[in-house]
Amino acid sequence: MQNSYSVKNLQDLENFAEELLKWLQDNSINCVLLYGELGVGKTALVQKVAKLFGIKQKITSPTFVIMKDYPLQNSSVFSEFIHIDAYRLKNKDDIKAFDIDNLVKDNKKLIFIEWPEKIFDVAPSECLSIRFTVDHKTAVRELALSLP
């Protein structure tokens, strides 16, 4: 998998989601940290991944409930898809009730976390980080991938 991707439209994002999901499964990575400003495409990526799993519910950012989980029937690798949005959290203690550390340790759960900087000082070693930036003139998104 490349370290950087340019996303010009929703089809590019869907293609990236397909490659990302295959890479996560092949490399036994179950946690993805999504960094970037509001409106840059973090939730859109989560929606594309959910679509690949056949999740029928409308995927919206769980800004107010913090976490949503979706059971997976058609995956041989993951049993549950978890979407976390830490945007509204004031400090790292606010996330303790969700037991993120144990969630990440469960390799059957695929976890996407928006605004991870609100809950982690250092990204967990089990997680892939994706940093979204956008060129506001062209609307092209750049996605930079890294492992801690």
State the Cα–Cα distance between residues 110 and 133, nearest whole angstrom. 24
Task: Name the pairing type of β-strands 80-85 and 67-71.
Answer: antiparallel
Q: Which two tokens stand for residue 12?
A: 């590019």
pLDDT along the chain (148 residues), means of 10: 92 97 94 96 97 93 92 92 92 76 89 92 84 95 91
Domains annotated on the chain, with CATH: 4-146 (3.40.50.300)
Note the residue count of the chain. 148
Residue 13 phi, psi dihedral angles, 5° rounding:
-65, -40
* Contact in structure between 70 and 80 (CB atoms under 8 Å): yes
Tell me, what's the pLDDT at 95? 76
| Packing angle of the helix pair 10-26, 42-52 (nearest 10 deg) | 60
Tell me, what's the pLDDT at 120? 81
Tell me, what's the pLDDT at 4? 94
Residue 18 phi, psi dihedral angles, 5° rounding:
-60, -45
